Amino acid sequence: MTGSPAALSDRGARFAMALPALVVFAGFALLPMALVFVLGFTSWDGLGTPAWTGAANWRAAMRDPVTQMSGWLTVKVMLIGWVVQTPISLFLGVFIAGRERYRAVFAVIYFVPLLLSTTAIGITFRALLDPNFGLSTAPSLAFMAKDWLGDTDLVLYSIIGVICWQFIPFHTLLYQAGVRQIPPVLYEAARLDGAGRLAQFWYITLPQLRYTIVTSSMLILIGSLTYFDVIYVMTEGGPGEATRVLPLDMFLTAFRQREMGRASATAAFLVVAGLMLSLAMVRFSGFAKMRSQQEGL
Amino acid sequence: MRKPFAWTAVAVAVAVLTSRGFAEPDPTGGTLAWALTSGDEKAYHHAVDQYNQKHPTSKITLQQFSNDPYKQKLLVAMGAGNAPDLFFNWGGGILKSYVDAGNVVDLTPEFSKDPGWKTRFFPSVLAAGTFDGKIYGVPINGVQPVVFYYNKKLFEEVGAQPPRTWNELLALIPKFKAKNKSLLSVAGADRWTYLMYAEYLVDRMGGPQVFSDIVAGKPDAWLNPAVVKAAEMIQDLVKKGAFEKGYAGVSYGNGQATALLYSGRAGMQLMGTWDFPNILNGQPNFVKQGSLGWLAFPTVEGGSGNAADVAGNAANLYSVYAKSTHKAVAIDFLRTAVLSDANVDVLLQNGSVPPVVGLESKIAKAPNAEWLTFIYNLAKGAPSFQLSWDQALPPAEADALLTQLDALFLLKITPKQFADKMNQAMKR
């Protein structure tokens, strides 16, 4: 390859073509991230000149009970979100992967949340869950009469519910595509061997969906590190600090408390946590190797 | 075929990159003003339209935002050096932070050139934008003391009289509960609504000096017995069931808290005067039928504060950005169009009382004269006009205050713990 003028110009062309994307990526992703790390070592109110404070922000973030609690809330949102979303999306995805027309009708209904903006979802749920004017005032929905957004023990679960409602359609779509990729011959062979529906699901669908599950889980878990909008619209982190997840804590620290340095330290932590989480998942799931699941077909 | 296509692409790219939208306030365009939506927005439009008609060559463009995002947008614009020529603000600590960063034009020389301009306004309102004797903001809308609104019809139904003292108010709680209503409606999700109770109770208990000490950062100012007592009174309200069910999740912005008042589910709401135009525009019949009542915050038995003191926002201000390239136009606009006689009329029509002296006869002729007179006298006669605490305090302390107040209203901390935590937040 190397040496011949043709190959050289080929390489040059490849580089030239990648350049615009690289410049944009470096300018709008890498550079700001590097700046965030630097700002993490300063004290800055967003207006004056940042003052170098060394590791003070990082030490404060480690010790601050609010930040610790925010971290714990984020982990909760992440894990509960995964546990709720994965089985439901898997089930719905398998269901609407069938070619019957009624399933397509259901699919259209399921996908509605995907079309709505997050702010619209937040405002709508806020109105629906209102204790005085919300759903609970309908005659047959009296069981809805809970203080969904005002009870500090309940509010996090209400928020997780809304997040799940918003994102399950997307993961359903992933699973639907995954299921449709599975060659029908596998099911035919299994049926000949006398496998029932459950056995087919357990021994064919699930293993064949392995990489889809990894992809979807990765999106859920890493997405949880950045959930912000729905929570901001619905509760602004309250009541008290009951829904102040880490990204929101970062935002409030930056723009309410005007401590950009402190907030940058939190942001840097989130970047590192997200990177490590995705690296770990890629490594332990064998995702990077992407070995064929269909050898011999 | 290929080359023309490539050049078209380049041309489009250049056009996109150089067009406006890249730098938000277009440097070549006219004077830009930022303000909020809702409340007195009719008056903001009126002032700009009036000015633009008279000055077709130096027009002003008004952009409006909603309350919470605006505060962040302004901070980012200030930090990035591209704030608008005129910006809406609340005076107090936040404006001071922009002044300290050298972002705001000192208007004192302009006021000295035109002494009549300065004496037009209530001194207590100009004070919100005055630091070290220099004036940085010009009032643009109505004064905003916080008052109790009440539903007269519901009070009749329950057989209750509007409370003049704190004990009378407490005595009303069971009366309303017996009819399956709540006495008070509060939008707890917004938190600044809680602040109004704290501001008034601390002032009624200990007078304005208590909070002046806190703003000045005097040691242990938060541990003042008046603060602890006020916190106890707040928890007393909560424990007695004064507020509507689920009050911690009810928000003001989407109108839920006010709806509780006019739909007859809650008797009273403590809110700024901006709620009057909201109700007037949203529920005109409720006001026309005379169902909306109002009263000043009650006297508190055993407190040393003056019962005529008010809390709230003085009025909103326009300030001029220091890096503005249209300072002359901006200042001319403030002097000639904002709160001009015609502009004052628009505000009065809207149920707002501008902080302008000598309006008594105008007010008497305006619609809703009863309301306007009440507010005008309340603001004019107030010995102390306490600026909202979240605007008066430095941002970090204000944020801590809202969080701790939230916990106090949820009974998660004791009154003593509230004072202790705020005292720590002040030290940091």
> What local confidence, expressed as pLDDT, does residue A8 receive?
60
In 3D, which of A152, A147, A149, A159 has the Cα closest to residue A76? A159
> What local confidence, expressed as pLDDT, does residue A243 receive?
92
Residues of B in contact with A257 (CB under 8 A): 395-396, 399-400
Pairing of strands B385-387, B292-295: unpaired
Comparison of pLDDT for A8 and B404, the residue scoring more:
B404
Does residue B5 register a pLDDT over 90?
no
What is the separation of C-alpha B316 from the centre of its chain, rounded to a whole number of angstroms? 7
pTM, two decimal places: 0.81
CATH number of the domain residue B268 falls in: 3.40.190.10
B254/B302 same-domain check: yes
What's the mean per-residue pLDDT of chain B?
Answer: 89
B6/B122 same-domain check: yes
What is the separation of C-alpha B105 from the centre of its chain, rounded to a whole number of angstroms? 22
Does residue A177 register a pLDDT over 90?
yes
Determine contact, residues A81/B114, Cβ cutoff 8 Å: no
B413/B286 same-domain check: yes
The domain tally of chain B equals: 2
CA distance A129 to chain B (A): 9
Residues of A in contact with B418 (CB under 8 A): none
B285/B300 same-domain check: yes
> What local confidence, expressed as pLDDT, does residue B21 receive?
39
Q: What is the pLDDT of residues B379-393, one digit of tens each?
A: 888 888 898 998 888
B406/B273 same-domain check: yes
> What local confidence, expressed as pLDDT, does residue B297 receive?
96
B23/B124 same-domain check: yes
B222/B307 same-domain check: yes
The two tokens of residue A11 are 């390489």
Of all residues in chain B, the percent with pLDDT exceeding 70 is 93
Q: Is residue B368 part of a domain?
A: no
CATH superfamily of A65-285: MetI-like (1.10.3720.10)
Across the interface, whether the CB atoms of A150 and B78 are under 8 A apart is answered no
Q: Is residue B19 part of a domain?
A: yes
Residues of A in contact with B80 (CB under 8 A): none
B135/B167 same-domain check: no
The ipTM of this complex is 0.76
Q: Which domain holds residue B300?
A: 144-312+388-427
Residues of A in contact with B191 (CB under 8 A): 236, 238
> What local confidence, expressed as pLDDT, does residue A290 receive?
63
B155/B123 same-domain check: no
Does residue A284 register a pLDDT over 90?
no
Asked if B268 has any chain A CB less than 8 Å from its own CB, the reply is no
CA distance A20 to chain B (A): 13
Residue to mutate among A153, A232, A248, A258, with most B CBs inside 10 A, is A258
Q: Is residue B120 part of a domain?
A: yes
| Stretch A260-266: mean pLDDT | 92
Q: Which of A105-114, A137-146, B1-10, B259-268 has the highest mean pLDDT?
A: B259-268
Contacts of B267 (CB under 8 A, 6+ apart): B150, B151, B154, B155, B158, B160, B172, B176, B181, B182, B183, B184, B261
Confidence of residue A93 (pLDDT cuts 50, 70, 90): very high
Question: Tokens 């990894």 identify what position?
Answer: A214
Measured from the Cβ of residue A145, the count of other Cβ atoms closer than 10 Å reads 14
Asked if A113 has any chain B CB less than 8 Å from its own CB, the reply is no
B305/B413 same-domain check: yes
Does residue A7 register a pLDDT over 70?
no
B82/B170 same-domain check: no
> What local confidence, expressed as pLDDT, does residue A100 receive?
85
CA distance A240 to chain B (A): 5
Residues of B in contact with A239 (CB under 8 A): 188-189, 248-249, 406, 410
What is the Cα–Cα distance from B304 to B208, expressed in whole angstroms?
10
Confidence of residue A281 (pLDDT cuts 50, 70, 90): confident
CA distance A11 to chain B (A): 22
Question: What is the sign of the dihedral through the CA atoms of B189, B192, B198 and B204?
Answer: negative
Amino acid identity for residue A157 in this structure: Y
Confidence of residue A291 (pLDDT cuts 50, 70, 90): low
Q: Is residue B91 part of a domain?
A: yes
Q: What is the dihedral of CA B233, B237, B239, B243, to 10 degrees?
A: -150
Residue to mutate among B251, B262, B263, B428, with most A CBs inside 10 A, is B251
Asked if A65 has any chain B CB less than 8 Å from its own CB, the reply is no
B415/B328 same-domain check: no
Q: In chain A, where are the structural domains located?
A: 65-285
> What local confidence, expressed as pLDDT, does residue B415 receive?
97
Q: What is the pLDDT of residues B262-275, one digit of tens each?
A: 999 999 999 999 89
| Stretch A79-99: mean pLDDT | 93
* Whether the bond into A169 is cis, omega within 30 of 0: no
Does residue B4 register a pLDDT over 70?
no
Contacts of B279 (CB under 8 A, 6+ apart): B149, B258, B262, B286, B287, B292
Q: Is residue B380 part of a domain?
A: no
Q: Is residue B379 part of a domain?
A: no
> What local confidence, expressed as pLDDT, does residue A4 receive?
57
Residue to mutate among A128, A146, A255, with most B CBs inside 10 A, is A255
What is the Cα–Cα distance from A188 to A201, expressed in whole angstroms?
13
What is the Cα–Cα distance from B333 to A187, expressed in whole angstroms?
77
> What local confidence, expressed as pLDDT, does residue A264 receive?
94
- Characterize B205-234 residue by residue with b for buried, 16 or more Cβ atoms within 10 angstroms of its Cβ, and e for exposed: bbbbebbebbbeeeeebbebebbbbbbbbb
Find the helix or strand (DSSP H, E) in which B138 lies. strand B138-139
